[in-house]
Amino acid sequence: MHLEYGPLEMDYVYEFINKAIEAGIDEIGILDHTHRFREFMPLYDNLRFIDKQDQWLKGERKFCNGLDEYIDLISKVKSQKLPIMVKFGLEVCYVPECEDFLKGLLDNYCFDFLVGAIHSIDGRLYDMPFSDEILWKVFNPDDIYKRYYELCLQAANSGLFTQLAHPDTIKMFNIYPSYDLASTYRKLAQALRDNDVEAECNTGCHYRYHHNDVGLSSELLKVLKEYGVKIVTASDAHRPADVGRCIREAELLINDID
């Protein structure tokens, strides 16, 4: 879950904690997107060649805090006697050209977990309202999918992350490739297992974008379980009201896969 739309303050964190308790959850992970923090600005330079992406990066709560402010909040929260386990991390936009930059920066901090996320295909965001005009209507979906999973594999093999965010959220607009993804899923599962990287079963694609899959597709889930990949559920809550949303349904789906 993300503090993205609120302040880096104890009271706001407690709103998420209290919602988790109401939902019967005893452990949560809080991770803000790297586009909140000024230190990560160079990571997004490759998006600025498109005006709408540049405007998005100039929007509210982009690069509005320093990492030290986040670290300070983490220290304050962890100093409290909390009713549930609260872990802190970052959701890091993975850009292969920036691996050295990311390693140099992230090595200065000690987070409970680090989540690698693919949000763009070579400088074009795939998950925005304007993505249709800059990506999906410009390139063949087969090529988009192939590049997306190349990036997922690179992120899994990078040694930077403990978790891969929403590994099939590229499906969010119900656009699919013409080819079978089975071999791609097996390659990804092997990379995740070999690097001890967890796969995230994220329900946000379901309740925010109305995709039929509650989390990961049954096809991908089956392959991940076959390879013994660790799976973590994520409600991807950007607001306290969404904490734990659809998590029970996702857990049932994971457990039902043989």
| Cβ pair 216, 252 in contact under 8 A | no
The whole-number pLDDT of residue 258 equals 72
Beta pairing partners, 121: 124
What's the pLDDT score for residue 232? 97
**3 φ/ψ sector (left φ>0, alpha ψ -120 to 50, else beta):** alpha
Please report where in the chains the tokens 């978790």 appear, as a residue: 163
- Count other Cβ atoms within 10 Å, centred on residue 166: 26
Rounded-to-5 percentages of helix, strand, coil across the chain: 45, 15, 40
| pLDDT for the residue numbered 186 | 98
Distance separating the N- and C-terminal Cα atoms of the chain: 28
The neighbouring-strand residues paired with 125 are 120
Q: Which letter, b or e, does each residue of 149-164 get, where b requires 16 or more Cβ atoms within 10 Å of its Cβ?
A: bebbbbbbebebbbbb
Q: What is the rounded average pLDDT for all residues in the chain?
A: 97
Check if the beta carbon of residue 87 is closer than 8 Å to that of residue 22. no
**What is the chain's alpha carbon radius of gyration, rounded to the nearest angstrom?**
18
Contacts of residue 220, defined as CB under 8 A and 6 or more positions apart, other chains included, come to: 167, 168, 181, 185
Residue 75 has pLDDT above 90, yes or no: yes
Q: What is the C-alpha separation between 64 and 101, in angstroms, rounded?
A: 20
Averaged over 123-152, what is the pLDDT? 98
Residue 113 parent element (H or E) = strand 113-117
pLDDT at residue 192 is higher than 90: yes
pLDDT digits (tens, 9 = 90+) for 15-57: 999 999 999 999 999 999 999 999 999 999 999 999 999 999 9
Percent of the chain with pLDDT over 90: 99
pLDDT digits (tens, 9 = 90+) for 53-63: 999 999 989 99
Query: For 180-191, what is the mean pLDDT?
Result: 98
pLDDT at res. 190:
98
- Rounded to two decimals, what is the model's pTM? 0.96
- Mean pLDDT throughout 217-237? 97
pLDDT in tens, 229-243: 999 999 999 999 999
pLDDT tens-digit map of 79-121? 999 999 999 999 999 999 999 999 999 999 999 999 999 999 9
What pLDDT, on the 0 to 100 scale, is given for residue 48?
97
pLDDT at 257: 86
High-pLDDT (> 70) share of the chain, %: 100
State the amino acid at position 116 in one-letter form.
G
For the chain, helix (H) and strand (E) counts, in that order, are 10, 8
